[in-house]
Structure 1
Amino acid sequence: MALFIDAGVHLFLAPGHQDAPSGVISQGTLFLFEAAAAVLVGLWVLVRGSRASYAAALVVAFSAFAAVMLYRYVDVPAFGPFPAMYDPVWFFSKTLSAVAEGAGTILAAVGLARSSRGRHGGNRSSIPEAARPGTLRRDT
């Protein structure tokens, strides 16, 4: 859900940030890329719930959270094709996005940890195999 909130906020804000000098990617275009990545990865997590999908969700959510925090507190100048995006003001949409991205980062990390534990930990049941219901034991 966090990635879909992130995508919705970026889609909502993108039209107001389309102005950019020639040779520079507009902030609105970057917002559209972020929204597309968040939707695609969010769907992947919902459909598959695999380690790879949680890892991708972690990358998308954390990179968005890091960007909003960086450009909120640091006046990073334009570099290469990227515009200067310093915005020192918190407003509802930006706050909602930051909270969703932070929560998405934590949730994706938990999902990744749980999927990794399940994959490498095997069956962690404390009940011995012979005592589990439906398990046949052959004494030879």
Structure 2
Amino acid sequence: MRPRSGFELTLRLLVVAALGVDAVVHLQLAEVMQLAAPGGLGGGTLFRAQAVLAGLAAVLLLVTGARAAYLLAGLAALSALVPVLLYTYVQVPAIGPVPSMYDPTWSTPKVVSAVAEALAFVLASVGVASSAAWRDRRVPARS
């Protein structure tokens, strides 16, 4: 799908870049998280899964620019942002196969990842809203 405008292309590339940062940080921290939270699925496994999800969402958005791709990108970002905030401020016990990953500290990679996730979510939300506006402009109004 061709970009609808320079704005849309810039928006798409910014979301893709933010998801890329998120994926790289999660891959870099996966081994440490496996050691820190080895129970159940393991923290490393969850971090690798998050990296794959962010990467797939980024590629889909880059290739298509579709509203659904923006929606998936936003959900991928949110699926990482909510847990990082939750596990920083709340000592959540293990839930089924998900280990307890409480870490009240803010390391540089954690901050970088959280900022990228928040940015990706906000920009993807703009993409979803803009996609609806672009669609509404193309469809003639019915009387």
TM-score range, shorter chain: 0.7 to 0.9
Identical-residue share of aligned pairs (%): 46
Match in the other structure for 2:56: 40
Q: How does 1:1-140 map to 2 (within 5 A)?
A: 1-19=17-35, 20-21=38-39, 24-122=40-138
Q: For residues 84-118 of structure 1, what are the alpha-carbon distances to aligned partners after superposition, in whole Å with 9 as ceiling and x for unaligned? A: 01100000000000000000000100011111111
Aligned length: 122
Bigger RCO (CA 8 Å, 6+ sep) = 2
Q: Report the CA distance between 1:122 and its aligned residue.
A: 2.4
- Residue segments in structure 2 that go unaligned for 5+ positions in a row: 1-16
TM-score by length of structure 2 reads 0.82
Q: Normalising by structure 1, report the TM-score.
A: 0.84
RMSD after superposition:
1.3
How many angstroms does 1:120 deviate by? Answer: 2.3
Counterpart residue type for residue 103 of structure 1: L
Amino acid at match of 1:109: S
Q: Which 4+ runs in 1 deviate beyond 3 A?
A: none
Q: Which has the larger radius of gyration?
A: 1
Give structure 1 stretches of 5+ with no counterpart.
125-140
Greater per-residue helix proportion:
2
